[in-house]
Homo-oligomer: A and B are copies of this chain.
């Protein structure tokens, strides 16, 4: 493939066609997203245990980097809840919250996770993110949401509390609940009620008074801004900080300085694993948001280029004193609804945040932490998806096991162990399930060319031939299982002359599968049973032709199974010896692997 600069710099693609009306739309969207991002950035920085201004820093350069390298037209990047929690967990292993080393660890995490994404993108290794299965990611997000919400309760109550897992957090809250600060609780509680209420009733109300759908959606999403403004006014007027209400106080008005922390091999290596998890989780979340939005306009994102775009964003966060960022669901939806047409909207948002950092922060002096905590709680509780747990339970027990393990380990041990446990378990269960594939003993549906499972249909079978349909690709983990099944079958059938393996669902036969087929062929020959194959797929046949197997095969390869029955002259035998298996002793075919039983099939 020839090198095309626009592949790595999508800005060259859309930048060429940039028009005045696009500019207007992008500008409007940028203003709305900026208003939404200011409280969010401050809140997520607090969640990550970082000074509030770091959240603003993480919302300036990264947006410009994504505008240059990203492929989604409408994705809005910046700090998000899950990555903030993961940053806190990782940096907390290096230093105490609030210390300069802690802040520096967050910067290193941004640089490392950005570099990892960039390298994966350049190597086109985006598929690695696929090993995070949906149930694991969904369980992880639900558990993280619960932990985040619990950890913010102390700000609502105005108490000090700690804890690294749900159990510790709850115990610590309970121990300190006596110290609850009533004014803080009133502000926090009111904010929670307002924000939950706004989420539920504001949109219908706005629509009822005649606002169009989109405007109602956007105003509802920027709800936190009203809580911010109202609470600042209340605290400033009543001077509630003197009653113990914790407020934001002075936020530095400087723009971020550009630079990287000194390289300390030991600390960087210690953070590498955490950075990789942050990179992958951030990527998975962002790509799913970007794909949803792109599909709505029949646009397309390139997952590998997204790695580069998000990597550049996190690197940009790292060199500007920020912390790991990714594409966020809520802000991207607002950006999309507000009419953003190109990533330029993101660049304009960056300018808006930079402006706010310099000129707006003095007005945030009286902003109570409880309001930020309420913003976080409302945002993350929308991520908690208990319905998904129930659906996965009813759909697949195997997926449920991986999901439940992810949730429990995340809740009671930690985010990193939680997600790695989930990935390892889902890989193991997948391999386990495919290592015990479904085999069906099939017979002819009388009078037709169709062959169906003897356990599901009334079919006729021959006493001198068996037809086994293999419902899985043959690879090393199940090759021996196929052998076991076949040997079991022939050990029960001394009268057997032919065995037909029907392969319409065999998408791949690896070298182990081939060797098992060779072993089966040879051992059946020793036992005077002829082995035939039928309905082999094109690509599988292409490959078998590159081996010697087809020359050594004792029987034939048939395009379809009916040909096999005709050619082997089994028809008359079928009628003579035919029987409906359902009415005879099922123990006639006792090999367990031929049943529909098993963990995954239950």
Contact = CB atoms under 8 A, between A and B. Distances in A.
A512 B127 contact: no
Interface stretch (A341-349, A485-493, A567-575): A485-493
Nearest to A475: B430
Contact of A488 (B136, B300, B427, B487): B300
A291 interface: yes
Nearest to A538: B456
Interface residues of A, number: 86
Copy total for this chain: 2
A205 interface: no
B471 A537 contact: yes
A463 interface: no
B512 A479 contact: no
Contacts of A6: none
Interface stretch (A244-252, A321-329, A503-511): A503-511
Interface in A503-542: 504-508, 510-512, 514-516, 519, 523-524, 526-527, 537-539
B129 A510 contact: no
10 contacts: A131-B435, A131-B476, A131-B477, A133-B476, A295-B490, A296-B523, A427-B427, A437-B507, A472-B508, A508-B600
Contacts of A298: 490-491, 494, 527
Nearest to A426: B476
A69 B539 CA distance: 44
Nearest to A433: B508
- Majority secondary structure of chain A interface residues (helix, strand, loop or mixed): helix
Contacts of A471: 507, 537, 539
A432 interface: yes
Interface stretch (A29-37, A175-183, A389-397): A389-397
A480 B303 contact: yes
A97 B426 CA distance: 43
A299 interface: yes
Interface string A396-434: 101110010000000000000000000000110011111
Nearest to A391: B547
Given A298-B490, A519-B291, A539-B438, A399 B511 contact: yes
Contacts of A129: 480
A130 interface: yes
